[in-house]
Structure 1
């Protein structure tokens, strides 16, 4: 079934609005059909799960694994989505980097999309495709997590076990920031329930640049970064030295319930304000940031209602200040990953992010860069994060590849890892905003690059055996990928699920070879290809 094609003058006239209203019953029928075709109650790998599973168009996916004993603890699913319409070498690198780090097979949002889901026709296809997916998840999936990545400029360095654990750590810090800003009573009223944030990557510029927009001026100052964080030029006239205060929509992670509501609100804003004459009318980031600006304006208004002298961000004299009422109506749970705990953007970080070995004692590397311009600077040691080492050790122990070394210690000591010397983090996800040549520079330096084919096979075996991301619970739950690898797929088929944007109306398996065979020389090292 094909989705309606976008209207030529989407909601820019009364006639277009009328056509949209007439189409609502058809859209509702379509969504109900998609829900029936894509998702069903069932079990996968012995894990009791009344949430959507992929592959009900493929009988091989519904079989139970030999591991049929259900775990006693609570379980949740991790919905991993990559936004892409067609393959290229950067998409294939993103796919391989996710597979070897054991994210499980992703759902490709907008794959060969048609009509309103055609990314070649509208960049807003990403918003629509993801919204359709989320709308078809049942309420039982509300506490699951979703990770959405742009498909052509992202590479994954660490696995979902690290990312999920860090998400809840970041959520606790965001709770603290909000309570400090608003106080506990207002925080609960206008930002609650806390702990359920949708994290976006952090940008060093507000894009599109217009500081009359609340999305640029009303948003929080960067916590825990002082005026020398990037040296004496911090927040001066040069973007590389700005603090990362603004939202980037290329990396998104949060609970399904809040993400579903946020994507619906994004579509509502698009429908209400889309204007073909506006230069950024096709930018998903523009609309998402606008919602964030409304959220933060509402919180400022709540502060001022309680205390007219409250300290808050201020814009220019002609800043737009929406008259939003206080009450949580615009609470979209949007948050920004300022410290690169989850996501690392590239633009403006060229001086501060690099891939280097951590081969010194204690898995460290000495930092000689005097970022702050301190007259009394002394070199210091940045150490490889323990969660990163533990995750790679788990992968190492279940991968048969002698070239990786005798122990994971050996592999770790000779590998390179991407790190941020300002935030002192080893990032799970690298998002190459800005110049794309860095994608080619850094990918061959990823820890898995010379072992990717063996790691790919071991990842598929891992999930076919019914294993979770990690043996211990995170946030009281054991986490599994939302969708399995097909039982009849090849042992080295690290493919993905197409989301039905091509008009088929159902998830369908796309094997790795059909997507990435022609890009293998850009994805795997030459010694692996022979």
Structure 2
């Protein structure tokens, strides 16, 4: 994901520079850049057509016809993912802190006890992002009018003349990092990359292009293959000696058929009724217990995140899992909490009661259930 982050950021910076009719270097000289990436939503939420978070945001970088001939027909399924979803985020710590500070200021200035979504983080972060985008558009128009929204639209004015609105906030439109579920069900599937050069062929006409549709290949990127190989080779006791190169060809990976990305992280937005079934079909389900143990051991050994340079640098985790001798119940790791000065919560306390369900794929001798079929009939509004 770190390597993908820099690829995404480079493309986003180029797209932003194009919006201002300048070069990337020129945009950066004006403090215009994209560094904080949030997941994409196909709807504005909380919805209010007058609110800048709904009307003042730019179109996605995917283009108006990314979802085929039905693009933009009013159905969420064919909307472009141009709105902010606050469930996933990735960016440099310094920039994220500035954004959080701005969001806290937004909460102080606008909190309304009577508002239904007064405790929604997405509401406040989206408002901060919308102010940034409005003033970006204002600058791109050389101080002219920013078009869009209804007649009674709300303008996100600066609260003070010196308020900084440029926070480098962006949406990760193509779901290379974060794949949201709601509205995307028709375009997500799992594919085995079992053909030459670890390629899969897409034969489903999910965009409903009709006679214009032609099957197309998707090749597994090298960094995905390298990551899977490293993980598989770290747990030799969990499989029967099959070479990683052979195992990878049997694995079905989640793919966005519109952007052609093997997505890194799946975010279950919308209805949660199928979450349990989804968990059981992921590639790591048969190895979950062993992978967690290996991750803890790798952390405690101080291993680098990648053996290769990423963006010209070597990357290491800031925190290391505590030794099991110092903290009982830490065999499978745990999580750091922002409470009590960043205290560590061991797995036994966090997830211990659910171990049997979480590790059933590896502990049970029963075969894993068949993969879920792609649902192409979804046309509901959320």
- Cα shift readout 1:461-487 (whole Å, capped 9, x = no counterpart): 222222101112212221111211112
- Cα shift readout 1:263-303 (whole Å, capped 9, x = no counterpart): 11111111111001112111110000000110011111112
Return the offset for 1:492: 6.5
Q: Name the counterpart of 1:414.
A: 250
Of residues 281, 284, 288, the one that matches 2:121 is 284
Q: Compared with structure 1, are the counterparts of its residues 265 and 416 closer, same or farther at alpha carbon in structure 2 (3 Å cutoff)?
A: same
Matches within 5 A, 1:456-495: 456-487=292-323, 488=325, 489=327, 493-495=331-333
Q: Compared with structure 1, are the counterparts of its residues 520 and 323 closer, same or farther at alpha carbon in structure 2 (3 Å cutoff)?
A: closer
Q: Compared with structure 1, are the counterparts of its residues 394 and 240 closer, same or farther at alpha carbon in structure 2 (3 Å cutoff)?
A: same
Return the offset for 1:407: 1.3
Q: Compared with structure 1, are the counterparts of its residues 363 and 491 closer, same or farther at alpha carbon in structure 2 (3 Å cutoff)?
A: farther
Q: Name the counterpart of 1:506.
A: 341
Q: Report the secondary structure of 1:351's partner residue.
A: helix
The whole-number CA distance in structure 2 between the counterparts of 1:404 and 1:175 is 46
CA contact (8 A) 1:355 1:417 kept: yes
Q: Name the counterpart of 2:21.
A: 183
CA contact (8 A) 1:460 1:491 kept: no
Higher relative CO (Cα under 8 Å, sequence separation at least 6) belongs to 1
CA contact (8 A) 1:345 1:433 kept: yes
Q: Name the counterpart of 2:151.
A: 317
The whole-number CA distance in structure 1 between the counterparts of 2:169 and 2:183 is 23
Q: Compared with structure 1, are the counterparts of its residues 314 and 529 closer, same or farther at alpha carbon in structure 2 (3 Å cutoff)?
A: same
Q: Which runs of 5+ in 1 are unaligned?
A: 1-162
**What do you get for the CA RMSD once the two structures are aligned?**
2.4
Q: Report the secondary structure of 2:73's partner residue.
A: coil
Matched, 1:212 2:50: yes
Q: Compared with structure 1, are the counterparts of its residues 329 and 378 closer, same or farther at alpha carbon in structure 2 (3 Å cutoff)?
A: same
Of residues 218, 240, 245, the one that matches 1:382 is 218
Q: Report the secondary structure of 2:85's partner residue.
A: strand
Q: Compared with structure 1, are the counterparts of its residues 208 and 190 closer, same or farther at alpha carbon in structure 2 (3 Å cutoff)?
A: farther
Of residues 372, 375, 382, the one that matches 2:207 is 372
Q: Name the counterpart of 2:357.
A: 522
- Cα shift readout 1:115-151 (whole Å, capped 9, x = no counterpart): xxxxxxxxxxxxxxxxxxxxxxxxxxxxxxxxxxxxx
Matches within 5 A, 1:40-439: 163-184=1-22, 187-188=27-28, 191-192=31-32, 194=33, 197-227=35-65, 229-305=66-142, 308=144, 314-324=148-158, 329-374=164-209, 375-401=211-237, 403=239, 405-439=241-275
CA contact (8 A) 1:212 1:315 kept: yes
- Cα shift readout 1:16-50 (whole Å, capped 9, x = no counterpart): xxxxxxxxxxxxxxxxxxxxxxxxxxxxxxxxxxx
CA contact (8 A) 1:219 1:313 kept: no
Q: Report the secondary structure of 1:168's partner residue.
A: helix
The whole-number CA distance in structure 1 between the counterparts of 2:271 and 2:9 is 30
Q: Compared with structure 1, are the counterparts of its residues 217 and 291 closer, same or farther at alpha carbon in structure 2 (3 Å cutoff)?
A: same
Q: TM-score, normalised by structure 2?
A: 0.87
CA contact (8 A) 2:288 2:362 kept: no
Q: TM-score, normalised by structure 1?
A: 0.64
* Count of residue correspondences: 359
The whole-number CA distance in structure 1 between the counterparts of 2:329 and 2:335 is 16
Q: Report the secondary structure of 1:365's partner residue.
A: strand
CA contact (8 A) 1:190 1:331 kept: no
Q: Report the secondary structure of 1:319's partner residue.
A: coil
Q: Which runs of 5+ in 2 are unaligned?
A: 366-382
Q: Compared with structure 1, are the counterparts of its residues 492 and 399 closer, same or farther at alpha carbon in structure 2 (3 Å cutoff)?
A: farther
Return the offset for 1:252: 0.7
